[in-house]
């Protein structure tokens, strides 16, 4: 059977027109948002989306709105040709690949752009999160100034060290939802906080979209798949296995009655630091509200972010005893 050739769309209006035509024919649409450099984890999201919808749209867009100027936007890996080959290999295929060039470029705002260029209204200097922290969108003087925030859920975990990240994620996902108009959207649980934030945003803003969380895909040795793994040296990759191993150890200990979170976290931190990692955070939080807990009494998730070399990795494991 020949591989399915997806339709490639780059324009917002064309994407919206396609979606509305398909929905007028009674077809449901599933969206899998990605930043490209696809791996088996992304492909598993597409397979999950097939369970919930007739047609599949995969977006490929590296979103500058979720990167601060000091982060790795310029080095984020990209391989559109390789991505297309992988998408053709997915059972059931993909119907549309939506890969816009710049979702913060507004062609009818030429006057505003000129003002910004002349320094009369420099959004880059006065924007950000209220504390002077800006994203790459604002740093480049974009006229974009509307942001979506899920205020409480974005504060902990990754939000502590990446203060513009979830504002950028919520905003770009909102834009994609308005452009693609899907019935279902699938997000990986590896970015656990992101998944919960999108769920809450959809609930609070009454999007008529089902949000599906798909389980983490791991290599055979346990490392959670990530596009950033390509930047790990062989030695760093081996050391990074300490993250998943410490999470598995904590889950096993909790099942055996060790429910004091401080002890579980200390053990994981020790394991990772002894392997050469640098901890960003190690937190055990309630699965729904992401509040830190001191003792496991219900469903929790153990979330870890750690640096190995110049690569920041995240992972988590749900614990329900």
3-state secondary structure the chain: CCCCCCEEECCHHHHHHHHHHHHHCCCCEEEEEECCCCCHHHHHHHHHHHCCCCEEEEEECCCHHHCCCCCCCCCCCCCHHHHHHHHHHCCCCCCEEECCCCCCCCCCCHHHHHHHHHCCCCHHHHCCCCCCCCCHHHHCCCCCCCCCCCCCCCCCCHHHHCCCHHHHHHHHHHHHHHHHCCCEEEEEHHHHHHHHHHHHHHHHCCCCCEEEEECCCECCCCCECCHHHHHCCHHHHHHHHHHHHHHHHHHHHHHCCCCEHHHHHHHHHHHHHHCCCEEEEEEEEECCCCCECCECCCCEEEEEEEEECCEEEEEEEEECC
CB-based burial of residue 76 (10 Å sphere; 0-12 exposed, 13-18 middle, 19+ buried)?
middle
Token readout for 287 is: 């699965």
CATH architecture observed for domain 7-104+140-214: 3-Layer(aba) Sandwich (3.40)
Angle at 230 between CA 192 and CA 277, to 5 degrees: 65
- What mean pLDDT do residues 169-180 have? 98
In angstroms, rounded to a whole number, what is the distance separating the alpha carbons of residues 167 and 101?
A: 20
112 vs 12, residue with greater confidence: 12
**What are the two backbone dihedrals, phi and then psi, of residue 272, each rounded to the nearest 5 degrees?**
-75, -45
Does residue 112 surpass a pLDDT of 60? no
Query: Per residue in 87-98, pLDDT tens?
Result: 999 999 999 999
Going by pLDDT thresholds of 50, 70 and 90, the confidence category of residue 108 is low
Whether pLDDT at 199 is above 70: yes
Name the active-site residue from 39, 42, 50, 144.
42
- pTM of the prediction? 0.92
Distance, CA of 98 to CA of 30 (rounded, Å): 13
Q: Which of 47, 45, 56 is nearest to 19 (CA)?
A: 56
| Segment 262-318, tens digit of pLDDT | 999 999 999 999 999 999 999 999 999 999 999 999 999 999 999 999 999 999 999
Please name the residues in contact with 52: beta carbons below 8 A apart, sequence gap of 6 or more: 28, 30, 183, 184, 186, 210, 212
The answer to whether the beta carbons of residues 197 and 154 sit under 8 Å apart is yes
Q: What are the structural domain ranges in the chain?
A: 7-104+140-214, 227-320
Q: For residue 128, name the pLDDT band (cuts at 50, 70, 90).
A: low
Token readout for 225 is 């798949």
CA triple 34-233-33, angle to 5 deg? 5
34-43 pLDDT tens trace: 999 999 999 9
Which fold would CATH assign to domain 227-320?
3.30.1300
* Pairwise CA distance, residues 93 & 43, whole Å: 10
Residue 116 has pLDDT above 60, yes or no: no
To the query of whether residue 54 is one of the catalytic residues in this protein, the response is no
């Amino acid at each position: 059977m020949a591989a399915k050739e997806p339709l490639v769309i780059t324009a917002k209006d064309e994407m919206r027109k396609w979606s509305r035509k398909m929905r007028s024919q009674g077809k449901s649409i599933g969206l899998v948002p990605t930043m490209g450099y696809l791996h088996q984890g992304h492909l598993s999201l597409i397979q999950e989306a097939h369970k919930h919808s007739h047609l599949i749209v995969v977006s490929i867009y590296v979103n500058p709105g979720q990167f601060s100027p000091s982060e790795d936007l310029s080095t984020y890996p990209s391989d559109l040709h390789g991505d297309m080959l992988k998408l053709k290999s997915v059972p059931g295929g993909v119907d549309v690949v939506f890969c816009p060039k710049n979702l913060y470029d507004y062609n009818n705002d030429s006057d505003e752009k000129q003002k910004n260029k002349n320094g009369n209204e420099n959004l880059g200097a006065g924007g950000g999160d209220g504390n002077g922290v800006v994203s790459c969108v604002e740093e480049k003087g974009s006229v974009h100034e509307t942001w979506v925030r899920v205020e409480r859920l974005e504060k902990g975990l990754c939000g502590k060290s990446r203060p513009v990240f979830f504002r950028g994620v919520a905003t770009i996902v909102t834009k994609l939802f308005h452009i693609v108009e899907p019935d279902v959207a699938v997000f990986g649980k590896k970015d656990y906080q992101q998944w919960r934030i999108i769920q809450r945003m959809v609930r609070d803003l009454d999007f008529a979209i089902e949000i599906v969380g798909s389980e983490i895909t791991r290599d055979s040795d346990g490392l959670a798949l990530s596009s950033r793994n390509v930047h790990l040296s062989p030695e760093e990759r081996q050391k990074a296995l300490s993250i998943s191993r410490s999470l598995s150890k904590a889950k096993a200990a909790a099942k055996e009655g060790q429910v004091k979170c401080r002890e579980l976290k200390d053990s994981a931190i020790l394991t990772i630091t002894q392997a050469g990692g640098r901890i960003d955070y190690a937190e055990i939080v309630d699965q729904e509200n992401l509040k830190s807990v001191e003792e496991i009494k219900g469903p929790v998730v153990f979330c870890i972010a750690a640096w190995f070399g110049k690569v920041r990795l995240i992972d988590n494991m749900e614990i329900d005893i």
